[in-house]
Structure 1
Amino acid sequence: MRFFSDPVLEAMATRRSVSKVGPETPTDAELAELLAAVTPVADHKALRPWRLLLLRGEDRRTLGEALDAAGGVVREHGDHNRKPFRAELLIAIVASPREHPKVPRWEQLAVAAGAGHLLELALWRAGWGVMWRTGVLADSDEVRAAHGLAETEQLLGWLYVGSIDESFRRRLQTSHRPALDPQQFLGRMPR
């Protein structure tokens, strides 16, 4: 892996999804501080077409019930959907497009996704494990209702956030996972 002298580029180049995070999470105040790195996301006409919802505690059970309802899953009494409990903190990334004659909906969805990715990078740089999870039920009526989404909004998924196990952190530091060849992503317009 190529290592950069710039810490931002280094964080970007070494970012990894952490599928199993620990129980410690950033506080709401720490998240607000990290959001300062997110708000400058490229945003045509400064529409700010995104918002974040913090799911902690029982909010995760509500999400699990909505996922079950959307998927037609009936559980035994006392059992619950464990997926939202893979992390103590889930951050729902919501695209909130607005009508604008010069900024199409797709562009506003891209801004919201960009904000989500910048937050993921900021959390990673701050030492937190993060996994962006989605799924076929994210846009279901039940899940949308549980998040209080407006008709025009779209849930882009959840960041599962938590601490990183020290053994996993050491493994990441010694990883020799090769970077993708950037040339495959570069091209020219056809002539």
Structure 2
Amino acid sequence: MASVYDALHERRSSSKVSDEAPSHDEILELVEAAGQVADHSGLTPWRVIEIRGESRRLVGESLAAASGLHGHDAEKSIRKSFRAPLLLAVVVSPRPSVKVPYWEQEAVASGVAHALTLLLHERGYGAMWRTGIQTRSEPVRIAHRLGSDEQMLGWIYTGRRVDRPRERRRSRIDVARHVSTL
């Protein structure tokens, strides 16, 4: 079993995946594990929406509407939602709290999303985290039936990895620039 360190270095976004996706039961298992991220007061301020089959069209249509696209341009945009057999919409569902501000609750939901990408990678699935300026638009909110206090964080496009395994990549960051001492 690879270490967390190895998983973080090996994981890559997978823009090309096969039509094989994790089952509903497998998603439940992975979400349960991802839900173990640090969560001040245990609020679990997030949820995940599984989107499969023709339901992916709703995602594409909502993004096209949010972008103001029509006709051929809209259809081209809608087709992008079919690039993977499973889309996992990650939603921040903030809970009332005097101790835990909204930004921290959104950070927990983001942590769940990232943990899911690592868990999917470990199981041989490719994952591509997709966001954009339309993520928090009204058409997207309506299509995903979000509550009035909820916000879409993005979608994890998921399917079996088809790309060949790669060597560990070299760090893309200048660590010394991002770590300081007080």
TM-score by length of 2: 0.91
Pairing of 1:14-53 with structure 2 (within 5 A): 14-53=10-49
User: In structure 2, how many angstroms separate the alpha carbons of the residues matched to 1:32 and 1:122?
Assistant: 12
Is residue 141 of structure 2 the alignment partner of residue 144 of structure 1? yes
RMSD: 1.8
- In 2, Cα distance between the equivalents of 1:176 and 1:49? 33
Q: Which of structure 1's runs of 4+ aligned residues deviate more than 6 A?
A: none
Q: Distance in 2 between matches of 1:176 and 1:64?
A: 34
Q: What is the TM-score normalised by the length of structure 1?
A: 0.87
In the TM superposition, what is the alpha-carbon distance from 1:181 to its structure 2 partner? 4.2
How far apart in 1 are the matches of 2:32 and 2:64? Answer: 35
How does 1:1-191 map onto structure 2 within 5 Å? 7-76=3-72, 79=75, 81-165=78-162, 168-170=163-165, 172=166, 175=167, 177-179=169-171, 180-189=173-182
Given residue 135 of structure 2, which amino acid in structure 1 is its aligned partner? A
Give distance in 1, aligned partners of 2:2 and 2:68: 49
User: Which is greater in Rg?
Assistant: 1
Q: Partner of 1:29: helix, strand, or coil?
A: helix
Report the AA paired with residue 130 of structure 1. Answer: A
Q: Equivalent pairs: percent with the same residue?
A: 46
**Unmatched runs of 5 consecutive residues or more in structure 1:** none
How far does the alpha carbon of each residue in 1:41-100 deviate from its partner, in whole angstroms, 9 at most, with x for none? 100000000000001011111111111211111125xx4611101111000000001121
Q: CA deviation at 1:6?
A: 5.2
- Provide the secondary structure at the position in 2 that maps to 1:10: helix
Question: Residues 182 and 37 (structure 1 numbering): CA distance in 2 closer, same or farther, change over 3 Å?
Answer: farther
Partner amino acid, structure 2, of 1:41: V
Aligned residues: 179
